[in-house]
Chain A
Amino acid sequence: MPKEVTDVICPFCGTLCDDLCITVSDDNKTILGVKNACAIGSEKFNHQRLPGRVKRPRMRQADGTYKEVSYDEAVDWTAKMLVKSRKTLMYGWASTSCQAMSIGHEIAEKVGGIVDNCATVCHGSSLIAIEDVGVPSCTLGEIKNRADRVIFWGCNPAHAHPRHMSRYSIFPRGFFTVKGHKGRKIYCVDCRYTDTAKCADEFIQIQQGYDYELLNAFRTAARGGDLPDAVGGVPKEKIYEIVDDLKTARFGIIFFGMGLTHTMGRNHNIDIAICLTRDMNDFTKFSIMAMRGHWNVTGSGQVLGWQYGFPYAVDLSRRDQARHQTGETTSVDLLNRNEVEACFYIATDPGAHFPVDAMVSSARKPTVCIDPHINCTTEISDLHIPVAMVGVETGGCAYRMDNVPIETRKVVEPPEGMLTDEELLTKINKRVDELLVKGGA
Chain B
Amino acid sequence: MSEYIIKNGHVFDPVQGIKGDKKDIAVKDGKIVDKVGSSAKVIDAKGKTIMAGALDIHAHVAGPKVNAGRWYRPEDKHFDSHKVPGITRIEGGKSIPTVFKTGYAYARMGFTFAMEAAMPPLYARHVHEEIHDTPIIDEGALPVFGNNWFVMEYLKNQEIENSAAYVAWILRQTKGYGIKVVNPGGTEAWAWGLNCLSIHDNVPYFDITPAEIITGLMKTNEYLGLPHSMHIHQNNLGNPGNYTVTLDTLRLAEGVKANNNFGRDQIMHSTHLQFHSYKGTNWGDFESGAKEVMDYVNKQKNITVDTGNVTLDETTTMTADGPFEHHLHGLNHLKWFNVDVELETAAGVVPYIYDPNIRVCATQWAIGLELALYAKDPMRCFITTDHPNAGPFTRYPRVYAWLMSKKYRDERLNTFKHADKVISATNLSGMDREISLYELAQMTRAGPAKALGLSKDYGGLKVGMNADIAIYNIDPDNFPSAGAEIEKAFGNVAYLFKDGKICVENGKVVDMGNKHTFWVDAKVKENKQVMHDIREKFLKYYSVNENNYPVPESYAPHQHIINVDAA
Enumerate A77-136 residues with CB–CB distance to B below 8 Å: 98, 102, 106, 109, 127, 130-136
Q: How far is the CB of B353 from chain A (nearest CB, A)?
A: 16
Count chain A CB atoms within 10 A of each CB in B334, B338, B541 and give the residue with the most. B338
Count chain A CB atoms within 10 A of each CB in B92, B99, B122 and give the residue with the most. B92
Contact A397 B92 (CB under 8 A): no
Contact B342 A309 (CB under 8 A): no
Q: How far is the CB of B296 from chain A (nearest CB, A)?
A: 36
A409 nearest CB neighbor, chain B only: B548
Contact B71 A311 (CB under 8 A): yes
A366 an interface residue at 8 Å Cβ cutoff? no
Q: Which of B81, B98, B192 contacts A285 (CB 8 A)?
A: B192
B83 an interface residue at 8 Å Cβ cutoff? yes
Enumerate B513-557 residues with CB–CB distance to A below 8 Å: 540-545, 547-548, 552, 555
Q: How far is the CB of B347 from chain A (nearest CB, A)?
A: 10
Q: Which of A130, A140, A405 contacts B123 (CB 8 A)?
A: A405
Contact B125 A139 (CB under 8 A): no
Contact B67 A305 (CB under 8 A): yes
Enumerate A1-46 residues with CB–CB distance to B below 8 Å: 6-7, 9, 18-19
Question: Which residues from B are CB-within-8-Å of A146?
Answer: 191-192
Contact B193 A301 (CB under 8 A): no
A140 nearest CB neighbor, chain B only: B543
CA A383 to CA B23, docked complex, whole Å: 63
Dominant SS at the B interface?
mixed
Q: Which of B70, B73, B346 contacts A306 (CB 8 A)?
A: B70
Tally of chain B residues near chain A (CB < 8 A): 60
Tally of chain A residues near chain B (CB < 8 A): 64
Question: Which residues from B are CB-within-8-Å of A135?
Answer: 72, 337-338
CA A250 to CA B74, docked complex, whole Å: 34
The stretch among B47-55, B126-134, B256-264 that forms the contact with chain A is: B126-134
Contact A302 B67 (CB under 8 A): yes
B368 an interface residue at 8 Å Cβ cutoff? no
Question: Which residues from A are CB-within-8-Å of B74?
Answer: 131, 309-310, 324
Question: Which residues from A are CB-within-8-Å of B193?
Answer: 281, 284-285
Contact B191 A251 (CB under 8 A): yes
CA A7 to CA B326, docked complex, whole Å: 36
Question: Which residues from B are CB-within-8-Å of A142?
Answer: 191, 340-342
A335 an interface residue at 8 Å Cβ cutoff? no
Contact B122 A404 (CB under 8 A): yes
A435 an interface residue at 8 Å Cβ cutoff? no
CA A397 to CA B552, docked complex, whole Å: 10
CA A142 to CA B147, docked complex, whole Å: 14
CA A211 to CA B195, docked complex, whole Å: 34
A102 nearest CB neighbor, chain B only: B133
Q: How far is the CB of B372 from chain A (nearest CB, A)?
A: 31
A232 an interface residue at 8 Å Cβ cutoff? no
B428 an interface residue at 8 Å Cβ cutoff? no
Q: How far is the CB of A120 from chain B (nearest CB, A)?
A: 14
Contact B98 A306 (CB under 8 A): yes
Q: How far is the CB of A56 from chain B (nearest CB, A)?
A: 28
Enumerate A300-339 residues with CB–CB distance to B below 8 Å: 301-311, 316, 319-324
Q: With contacts A311-B71, A404-B543 known, is A278 near B192, CB below 8 A?
A: no
- Residue ranges of A at the interface with B (Cβ–Cβ < 8 Å): 6-7, 9, 18-19, 98, 102, 106, 109, 127, 130-142, 144-146, 167-168, 174-176, 250-251, 278, 281, 284-285, 287, 301-311, 316, 319-324, 397, 399, 402-407
- Please, could you name 10 A-B residue pairs with CB atoms under 8 Å apart, sorted by A? A134-B350, A285-B192, A302-B67, A307-B98, A308-B92, A308-B98, A310-B71, A316-B90, A405-B123, A406-B125
Known: A302-B71, A308-B92, A397-B555; 4 extra A-B contacts, CB below 8 A, are A133-B335, A145-B343, A321-B81, A406-B544
